[in-house]
């Protein structure tokens, strides 16, 4: 059968943007703006991993921030309570979060559509209570964990106040995540299988796509990358509390993906930068900030129904799945 055709992201453009961001680091004199860009890089890791499941595979997994929190807490607890070097704690956090994603995926194999969304969102809702009640297990309870150790790599210590060091560390991890997700998974046979399951599940099965195996693989990979992003966040901020599972964080991540466009690279990445920077610019509006962000989503849905990514891929979903090689 003919091979499914998917738009291949430009590798040249990727490396040009990466070089420009690398050159921008020392030119940003303000530590505050460096901080915002570091947050952009960390959220890029999380949102890109979420885009893989909800955008390319069409699985409405609303446990993304729960997995982010698991990665944050696991890395912080390993480094604070068990004395693990922070670098290895981050890697182990990715592995533990991958296992958590696998366990969340198992019940989802028997669920469809909105029921997957309800189950995964229930995981998100249940986790804050578990973290608050888990003080005896080292979660720190409602106050969370304070003084998360910095990452030390090749004799270089990445402390919170070392903005330039964190800038390059977060940029490197974000670039690797984007490269893996969009250039080696979404554009490869795995990605074609995910898109086929999203657009025509029955047809994909007829071509030999194992939907259960694909979903388990998808949840596990997405969770592992998300867990690493959460671990980096914990070591950068040096504080992690159940507040990370609050409505504000959840709304921000949703807005990033919605404005950027699901399953249309580089939409999700653009959404992260626009919303993160815009959110900081709107802080002077206080409690009206989230209202303004909500209006942005409404206007984006009206004027850009496919998100910013739709401006780069005007063919839409019709050009995504024509045929899949068995």
Q: What letter would DSSP give residue 309?
A: G
Domain boundaries, the chain: 13-243
The pTM of this model reads 0.89
Using DSSP's 3-state secondary structure scheme, residue 239 falls into: strand
Q: What is the pLDDT along the chain (326 residues), one digit of tens a residue?
A: 334 445 557 889 999 999 999 999 999 878 999 999 999 999 999 999 999 989 888 888 999 999 999 999 999 999 999 999 999 999 999 999 999 999 999 998 888 878 999 999 999 999 999 999 988 889 999 999 999 999 998 889 999 999 999 999 999 999 999 999 999 888 777 777 777 777 777 777 776 777 788 888 889 999 999 999 999 999 999 999 999 998 888 888 988 998 888 888 889 999 999 999 988 888 888 778 878 877 877 887 788 878 888 777 655 444 444 434 44
pLDDT given at position 304: 82
Cis peptide before 266 (omega within 30 of 0): yes
What is the pLDDT at residue 323?
37
Q: In angstroms, rounded to a whole number, what is the distance separating the alpha carbons of residues 296 and 312? A: 20
Beta strands 239-240; 156-158: pairing state = unpaired
- Alpha-carbon span 63 to 40, nearest angstrom: 20
Strand-strand pairing, 145-146 and 239-240: antiparallel
């Amino acid at each position: 059968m003919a091979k499914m055709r998917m738009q291949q992201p430009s590798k040249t453009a990727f490396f040009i943007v990466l070089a420009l961001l690398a050159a921008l680091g020392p030119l940003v004199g303000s530590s505050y703006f460096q901080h915002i860009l570091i947050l952009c890089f960390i959220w890029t890791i999380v949102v890109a991993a979420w885009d893989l499941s909800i955008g390319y595979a069409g699985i409405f997994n609303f446990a993304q921030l729960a997995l982010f929190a698991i990665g944050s807490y696991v890395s912080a607890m390993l480094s604070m309570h068990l004395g693990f070097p922070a670098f290895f704690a981050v890697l182990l956090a990715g592995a533990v979060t991958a296992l958590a994603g696998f366990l969340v995926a198992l019940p989802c194999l028997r669920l469809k559509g909105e029921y997957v969304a309800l189950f995964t969102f229930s995981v998100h809702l249940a986790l804050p209570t578990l973290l608050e009640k888990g003080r005896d297990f080292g979660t720190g309870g409602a106050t969370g964990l304070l003084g998360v150790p910095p990452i030390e790599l090749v004799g270089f210590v990445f402390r919170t106040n070392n903005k330039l060091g964190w800038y390059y560390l977060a940029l490197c991890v974000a670039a690797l995540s984007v490269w893996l997700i969009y250039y080696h998974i979404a554009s490869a046979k795995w990605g074609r299988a995910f898109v086929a399951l999203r657009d025509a599940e029955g047809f994909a099965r007829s071509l030999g796509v194992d939907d259960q195996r694909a979903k388990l693989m998808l949840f596990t990979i997405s969770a592992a990358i998300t867990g690493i992003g959460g671990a980096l966040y914990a070591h950068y901020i040096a504080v992690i509390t159940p507040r990370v599972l609050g409505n504000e964080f959840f709304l921000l991540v949703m807005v990033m993906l919605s404005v950027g466009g699901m399953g249309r690279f580089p939409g999700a990445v653009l959404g992260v930068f626009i919303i993160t920077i815009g959110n900081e610019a709107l802080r002077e509006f206080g409690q009206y900030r989230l209202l303004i962000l909500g209006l942005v989503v409404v206007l984006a849905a009206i004027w850009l129904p496919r998100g910013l990514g739709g401006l780069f891929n005007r063919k839409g979903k019709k050009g995504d799945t024509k045929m899949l090689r068995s």
